[in-house]
Amino acid sequence: MKAVLCLLLMSLSLWCGGEAKAQVCTAVPSNIVFGNVSPISGAAVQGTGTITVTCDWALISLQPNAEVCLNLSAPSPRQLSNGGSTMQYDLYLDSARSQPWGSTANGTTPISLSIAKPLLGTAASQSVTYYGLIAANQPTVPSVGNSNTVYSQSFSAAQTVLAYQAYLLIAPACGSIAASGASFPFTATATVVNNCNISAGNLNFGTAGVLNAGLSANSNLSVQCTNNDAYRVSLNGGSSSNVAARVMQRQGGGGSVNYQLYTDLAHTQVWGDGSGSTTRVTATGTGTTQAITVYGSVPAQTTPMPGNYSDTITATIEF
């Protein structure tokens, strides 16, 4: 009887020894890269990243499942930055981008997933997607040095906390799982691009019987460029192809009227393409729409036959 008891105790000791290896989980994230962002478009920009979680069990385990919680403790909403400039965005648990990614440490919701041990083997991996959204309507976010500018936010080991717990049947809540001490730092980036929009209103000199005195009229160009982005606007020569000698042609043919466009109210600076002593308008974008006045003048001249006279000018913006 004593010998049998000894064998039973030895068998029990060997069975318990199978649980000696603890289950361990690790997380490896990808960075989230939003790509090019044009603030003046006013559009929101989406992005995604992934985190691959791997859990390893003992060969024999009475708890063949693991609940894994990925905590992100950085305050929400979040900001991408370049120097002192920022761009608002956030990271989310769901593809609808309605639930910010948080942490049990501050009472918000982490990413959670359950991983099952394979029947054969000890390790299993699962990837989970996290979702990003740069907020719409941020037109004044600037670029730097007239170049595309990278904005970023890095999440440190202290802000990315991995917590996990093995279980048999019922997964524990993330709030009840102690941090493992592991982390998964990553970075979010976006590139603010220089961009411009331009539109023009017609310039109308009105109706004149004879051209024995000069006529003046003004119109506006509307320009919207990335904040802090330098730009330059040129006007071509229209039908004459000569910025120094513009001409309106009679619709249907048979006559023309000389006129000119200027950058200033005094009509001293001809607005052209930089050739023939003409000048161009230069300015710096603010992210919002800027109005630039075009000053027009018809000098006194021999009056041509009656009719409607017009010309088409192309405005070109360089940035």
- For the chain, residues classed under CATH 2.60.40.1090 are 196-318
- Tell me the per-residue pLDDT of 274-298, one tens digit each, with 9 for 90 and over: 999 999 999 999 999 999 999 999 9
Q: Is the pLDDT of residue 11 over 70?
A: no
Determine the pLDDT at residue 1. 30
Confidence tier at 318 by pLDDT (50, 70, 90):
very high
Q: Give DSSP secondary structure letters for the chain.
A: -HHHHHHHHHHHHHHHGGG-SPPEEEEEEPPEEEEEE-GGG---EEEEEEEEEEEE--SS-S--EEEEEEEE-S-SSEEEEETTEEEEEEEESSTT--SB---GGGTSPPEEEEEE--SSSSEEEEEEEEEEEEPS--TTPBPBTTB-EEEEEEE-TTTEEEEEEEESSSPPPGGGSPEEEEE--EEEEEEEPP-EEEEE--------S--SS-EEEEEEEEEEE-BT-EEEEEE--GGGT-TTSEEEEETTSS-EEEEEEESSTTS-SBBSSSSTT-B-EEEE--SSEEEEEEEEEE-------SS-EE----EEEE-
| Residue 20 confidence (pLDDT) | 32
CATH for the 196-318 domain, from 2.60.40.1090, 3.90.1150.10, 1.10.150.20, 2.40.420.20: 2.60.40.1090
Assigned token pair, 107: 């009472």
Pairing of strands 186-192, 32-37: parallel
Average pLDDT over residues 74-81: 97
Please give the pLDDT value at position 5.
28
Could you tell me the two tokens for 287? 């992210």
Whole-Å CA distances, 238 to 105, 202, 205, 232, 247: 66, 14, 16, 19, 8
Examine the pLDDT at 87 and tell me if it is beyond 50. yes
Q: How crowded is residue 270: how many other Cβ atoms within 10 Å of its Cβ? A: 20
The span from the CA of 231 to the CA of 216, in Å, is 27
What single-letter amino acid sits at 159? Q
Q: pLDDT value at position 10?
A: 30
Q: What is the mean pLDDT of residues 105-113?
A: 97
pLDDT value at 56 more than 70? yes
Q: What integer pLDDT is reported at residue 65 of this predicted model?
A: 96
Q: Tell me the CATH class for 21-192.
A: mainly beta
Percent of the chain with pLDDT over 90: 92
- pLDDT tier at 23, thresholds 50, 70, 90: confident
pTM of the model: 0.86
Q: Write down the pLDDT at residue 170.
A: 96
User: What's the confidence (pLDDT) of residue 22?
Assistant: 55
Mean pLDDT within 83-107: 97
